[in-house]
Amino acid sequence: MKMNKSKKIDIAERFGGKGIFPYQLAFTLLMPIRNIFLSPKKLIQRLEIKEDSIILEIGSGPGYFSIKIAESISKGKLILADIQQEMLDYAKKRIDKKGLKNVEYYLCDGKTLQFPDNSFDRIFMVTVIGEVENKEEYMKEFYRILKNDGILSISELAGDPDKMTIEDIKVLAENSGFKFYKIYGNKKNFTINFKKHNGTQHGKKQ
């Protein structure tokens, strides 16, 4: 399909601007140079994944991190969630090529996440949180659908125009009841992990 000139300009502008990352530029998210900032291998370690983990990836895009994560949970399941169907289709195409059978796909409506309470061992996102329009609503949903001993993991990388600071992410998560657990990296490129409780309250909702 031919794209008109103004559409091309919109996409080019968005590449350096804020808002939902355009699916037309999804290929740029698959450049291996990204490993300098965060590799799938490093993320797997930071997520403390077990082979039977049930994992939700929010804003998967074309699945740069997803393949290696799905491969590391031979007895588990990975659900890719994105607000753009085109991103999920792109990720599925790549994942199907690898023959992975433990991956499912979920199209987000931007407000609620239609999963039962206490569904996931891990919920993670990479360069996504700044783009999410309804951050507080999402945080409340993460709290509800994460298992009591689960981990919510948020990674932000240099160069993302929507990047949030460590401090702002802490406030956002703690306002929804999450407790700070661990942090990796530096101010420019980091992964910050939260739990539902700090180990002394045994997962009781506060």
- Residues making contact with ligand SAM (CB under 6 A): 20-21, 29, 58-61, 64, 81-84, 87, 108, 110, 126-128, 131-133
Show the 3-state SS of 98-129.
Answer: CCCCCEEEEECCCCCCCCCCCCEEEEEEECCH
Minimum separation from the CB atom of position 129 to ligand SAM (A): 9
Nearer residue to ligand SAM within complex by CB, 65 or 178: 65
Q: Which of 112, 105, 108 is nearest to 90 (CA)?
A: 105
19 vs 199, beta carbon nearer ligand SAM: 19
CB-count exposure of residue 89 (10 Å: 0-12, 13-18, 19+): middle
- The minimum distance between CB 14 and ligand SAM, in angstroms, equals 10
Residue 179 or 184 having the CB closest to ligand SAM: 184
Q: Which is nearer to ligand SAM, 36 or 149 (CB)?
A: 36
Compute the least distance from the CB of residue 21 to ligand SAM, in Å: 4
The number of beta carbons lying within 10 Å of the beta carbon of residue 123 is 28
Calpha distance 129→108 (Å, rounded): 14
The answer to whether residues 67 and 102 touch, using CB atoms and an 8 Å cutoff, is no
Report in angstroms how near the CB of residue 131 gets to ligand SAM at its nearest: 4
